Amino acid sequence: MEFLAVNLLQAGYPDQVVLREIRFELQAGQFLAVCGRNGSGKSTLLRALLKLLPHLKGKIYLAGRDVFQLKAREIAALTAYVPQVTEPVFDFSVEEMVSMARYFHQPIFFTRLSEADHEAVREALFLTETDHLRHKSFNHLSSGEKQRVLIARALAQDSPLILLDEPSSHLDLNFQLQVYQLLRRLQKEKGKTILVTEHNLNLCLPYCDRLMFLKNGKIVASGQPLEVVNKRVLQEVFDLEVELRENSSTGLPEISLIHHRERD
């Protein structure tokens, strides 16, 4: 079943249309990575899917429902958003941060959380291995810990689709891998549909079922990773000649940068 269907989407800001003619579908339980250069429109696409932009045209269907007809709370029931780990937040504890997700499930905001809410928070902390941090201030965590807590919050929201904006940025190699392995577990064990924007193609390639490349706000290639990752597409997307080699643990292609050395 297709969980997300986007047709002829045009999106942007009052002074600039960023995305044009965006058309794609994502099946329930699939993992899609959206890649492209800085400024190609990846974050704008996530904001568009959440109906957070002033300029939006076209069609977006979530679970068969027209997003333009849905209230923010109805969208939150279907889609959780994991922003980039950047700005400090108010001095919330980890448990408070994750619990916020449950307020979407309350009939009115700021009513007390039920035992089911607390259980959802406990499970999210457990799955992301952040339960030992629950009483710590979110602002005092390392970037890797913050990223896991933001994913915990998305999990506690209990929505079938999770959108993540560059989940590997600011993370060291170890945490990058941990985050993607966690996302794969959530996809396989919890049946989550996952959409990430990602800079690091070598990182996301082994985890995604589908890959979509954006350039200047348009889709330039989309499909299964092996169909779309080739030198010609990469040259077009990144304006850069690259080599491809085979990753020995996955057998999948991996980008190798070409460093031109100037002769003395």
Chain residues binding ligand ADP by CB under 6 A are 13, 16, 18, 36, 38-44
Alpha carbon separation from 109 to 34, 51, 120, 151 (Å, rounded): 33, 21, 17, 22
Q: Considering the complex, what minimum distance in angstroms separates the CB of residue 234 from ligand ADP? A: 16
Nearer to ligand ADP, 39 or 191 (CB): 39
Q: Considering the complex, what minimum distance in angstroms separates the CB of residue 146 from ligand ADP? A: 19
- Calpha distance 106→158 (Å, rounded): 13
- Calpha distance 138→183 (Å, rounded): 21
The enclosing H or E element of 5 equals: strand 2-13
Nearer to ligand ADP, 155 or 203 (CB): 203
Q: Considering the complex, what minimum distance in angstroms separates the CB of residue 123 from ligand ADP? A: 31
Nearer to ligand ADP, 113 or 233 (CB): 233
Nearest to 194 by CA among 216, 224, 222, 162: 162
Q: Considering the complex, what minimum distance in angstroms separates the CB of residue 206 from ligand ADP? A: 22
Nearest to 214 by CA among 227, 233, 230, 200: 233
Q: Considering the complex, what minimum distance in angstroms separates the CB of residue 114 from ligand ADP? A: 37
The string of DSSP letters for 33-73 reads EEE-STTSSHHHHHHHHTT--SEEEEEEEETTEEGGGS-HH
Task: Give the SS3 label for residue 100.
Answer: helix
Nearer to ligand ADP, 43 or 137 (CB): 43
Nearer to ligand ADP, 55 or 122 (CB): 55
